[in-house]
A and B are shown apart, each in its own frame.
Chain A
């Protein structure tokens, strides 16, 4: 582990006493994400409160909870769409305080969106190329004058983009306008676009939404494959419990903006607090 990188704050190696869900192989390594006492208020409402989580560098983590629990808000805090009103977020050891979305992304966090946000008038390949924007670079003048750098980097971008598209077998759709793709393909393209930025942490907001059981099955395999191939951490929000329980090594349950449980799939499934949060108190229905 290189310690030459500038640290904005000291980093404790995993595990935290309270976050002992990081998989064994990641123990002792620097966590890719540490959220400490993270919270945000909108007006008087605490949308997220005292959120603590540690994610290991090759972990697949799940964030679940009933509708309106604040899951997407957590993603927005981690990617700095919202500036937290309390607490800190460390990405790969860097404090993200005061950073905007762009600079946070450059620290190595990429995401997909619950309501798909593709560049929908651009082609599939161009979408992935935007992900490569900071990885394979050349300047504006080089582009206008078509200098040698343009041709070289364009070829590299193209090859890398096609490589990525092959992950979901989308290479034949490279020239399709992304807005015209079917829903499932749009979700997959969003994942590839995020992956193109070579993130250390990939955040997936409901990746299986709108997919049939067979497609979901395939997605589960692909997520694991992505983790193994790229050696990155993946954190996902998902309502499909088969997916969450099937691939997530650590699961965090959110209700009314607060963590109510953390643990492995088995622990979560047997946790009465979680069951209550999902099903509600049986008596409560009548009152």
Chain B
């Protein structure tokens, strides 16, 4: 029982991290209709930014994370402007390959700048919360609990942002029908740029939490696997849908931890992906994705 609860809490906590990354994938997909393969590497850059500011320059963790968010926002917008914007309207495969090129670029630039040796840092280290249930007990890292709180705050904030603000509404309009949004006077290019900015800022937070709370070692390829997992989560929830990305992220995190705890650590990746496949075969557009009907 205690083991199950611990896995449950850890799953939700990992899932909320995936959810933040998945939001970046999903929003960009919804609005720019592209698979941004380089998103995972922005996470890595965020991690390095926090590392350099905090460990090398002695900044406060919170300040370092905020600065990293700023750096990633600029980076994300720069990538969008230089690599993706010129390809608007191009075949999606060309855009995908470009995104892969950007991913290679970020990984190798990071390798040249910061080397391949793994690095570590810690933020939100407040010890453990020990819960006793009858005779058994389990520990939860308070840092992880706080990171869940941060994730939830981000999700609520983002939902309010897209639901209530003018920019958020134009984001939804562009994702629904780009042509019509343009006719309604919405600046599509600016909207797409803002989407990349938000996604990248979230990636910085994810990078800081991934290394600083979850203890993943920081190297140029750090972002790749969480990126793929979160991408899976975004598709699971229905890519393009913001609530879908949140639910998808939490479910994928839960599945991964529960499978790892109760079935097999070695098979957790395989089973997580298997669940995704079963899900998509049963409902081809994901949990909350809208079915598309081609007009004949």
Contact = CB atoms under 8 A, between A and B. Distances in A.
> Taking the complex as a whole, does A directly touch B, i.e. does some CB pair lie under 8 Å apart?
yes
Interface of A: 72, 76, 81, 113, 115
Size category of the B interface is: under 10
B57 to A, nearest CB: 56
Nearest to A101: B296
Contacts of B296: 72, 76, 81, 113
Which label, helix, strand, loop or mixed, suits the secondary structure of the B interface?
A: loop
Nearest to B295: A115
A146 B295 CA distance: 39
A76 B296 CA distance: 8
Nearest to A75: B296
Interface string B281-296: 0000000000000011
Interface of B: 295-296
Contacts of B295: 115
Contacts of A113: 296
Contacts, number: 5
B296 to A, nearest CB: 5
Nearest to B296: A81
B160 to A, nearest CB: 30
Nearest to A115: B295
A200 B296 CA distance: 22
A72 B295 CA distance: 10
A113 B296 CA distance: 7
A274 B296 CA distance: 26
> 5 tightest A-B contacts by CB?
A81-B296, A76-B296, A113-B296, A72-B296, A115-B295
Contacts of A76: 296
Nearest to A42: B293
Nearest to A79: B296
5 contacts: A72-B296, A76-B296, A81-B296, A113-B296, A115-B295
Nearest to A82: B296
A100 to B, nearest CB: 14
B292 to A, nearest CB: 14
A60 B295 CA distance: 27
A113 B295 CA distance: 11
Nearest to B294: A81
A263 to B, nearest CB: 29
Contacts of A81: 296
B267 to A, nearest CB: 37
B132 to A, nearest CB: 54
A115 B296 CA distance: 8
A272 B296 CA distance: 32
B152 to A, nearest CB: 35
Nearest to A72: B296
Contacts of A115: 295
B294 to A, nearest CB: 9
Contacts of A72: 296
A113 B294 CA distance: 13
A267 B186 CA distance: 51
A99 B295 CA distance: 20
A76 B293 CA distance: 13
